[in-house]
Amino acid sequence: MATDVITRLDPASRAARRGLSDLTIRNLFIIPTILFLIVFNIFPLLYSLGYSFTDFRASTNAPANFVGLQNYRELLNDPFIWNNFVITAKYVIVSVAGQVIVGFGVAMLLNRDIPYKGLITTLLLLPMMLSMAVVGLFWKLLYDPSFGIINYALGLGTFEWLANPDMALYAVAITDIWMWSPFVMLLSLAGLSAVPKHLYEAAAIDRAGPLYTFFRITLPLVAPILMIAIIFRTMEAFKTFDLAYILTSQPTTEVLSIRLYKMAFQEWQTGRSCALAYIMLIVVVAITNIYVKYLNKVKER
């Protein structure tokens, strides 16, 4: 009987009975998928890597000339590009830190018995379901110094958020925090609900204070899942484009993706922009590796 159940549930056996062998499945599904990935992912990746060593400009009919590492050398010696890196780093730190603090804080508040908890959680998730372009335009109106509700609510008069070079990056980061804190909150809630209750009961019996409980029980147990949220959000924040582009076009908010876009599609410096894309890729991979190593350490503890 048990054998019969296994046979009925085993898809390979069912496929075999219908005449679909492992070989056929590989040929029909796996090989086309791999080919698709190679054609649309790997090939463009390698092709653009090739272009990054040339002076190719897509706006001309001139052939691409091999220039070796010149594009990389020029980019790494360009003070404007370094400035773009600094802006991006500042943005990533402010934005991700804000999301972790707000998201985790809200998750702590929601991780208790409160009425309409499900409804509140759902409503809090709404910002991250909206399109980036819509959020950008929406917040542009909110920040407007003449009729924006933010200045009205905070009594800031005609304070300029987006036109002020010193404030614009923070204004973009605040919008990003508003949009993506729910993501951190969701993951944190999952982590918090998985913390065994008996640990808190034991801490209560030992008369441990709330701070001790938080730092010794809650945070260590939620840390791995929080780290995953941080990894995701750091990668996304590093690549951010839409919000900064729509909200403001200040030099102080020109993150790397915007510079890359302008270089590739407004200035048509195709080879150079490919090199910048690879520099960005290397940085993202390096940051992610550092995070993953740290995540593994946190898990081991």
Contact 301/221 with Cβ under 8 angstroms? no
Q: DSSP letters of 94-137?
A: HHHHHHHHHHHHHHHHHSS--TTHHHHHHHHHHHHHS-HHHHHH
The helices-and-strands tally (H runs, E runs) of the chain is 17, 0
Which residues 125-154 are close enough to bind other proteins by CB under 8 A?
144-146
Question: In the block, which residue shows the tokens 């730092």?
Answer: 215
Match 């808190």 to its residue by tokens.
Answer: 200
In the set 111, 121, 213, 252, which binds other proteins (CB under 8 A)?
Answer: 252
Site size toward other proteins (CB under 8 A) is: 25
Residue 80 makes contact with other proteins by CB under 8 A = yes
Which residues in the 172-201 window bind other proteins by CB under 8 A? none
CB of 65 to other proteins, least distance (A): 13
Q: Is 248 in the site for other proteins (CB under 8 A)?
A: yes
78 binds other proteins (CB under 8 A): no
249, amino acid identity: S
- Going by C-alpha positions, the residue among 228, 239, 237 that lies closest to residue 91 is 237
291 binds other proteins (CB under 8 A): no
- Partner residues linked to 66 by β-bridges: 54
Provide the minimum distance between the beta carbon of 258 and other proteins in the complex, in angstroms, as a whole number: 9
Question: Which amino acid belongs to residue 30?
Answer: I
CB of 181 to other proteins, least distance (A): 26
The answer for residues whose C-beta is within 8 angstroms of residue 88's C-beta and 6 or more apart is 238, 255, 256
- Which residues in the 53-72 window bind other proteins by CB under 8 A? 58-61
To other proteins, the closest distance from the beta carbon of 130 in angstroms equals 21
Residue closer to other proteins (CB basis): 3 or 77:
77
Residue of 85, 178, 200, 268 interacting with other proteins (CB under 8 A):
268
| Whether 292 contacts 228, CB under 8 Å | no
Site for other proteins, rule CB under 8 A: 58-61, 80, 144-146, 158, 160, 162-165, 248-252, 262, 265-269
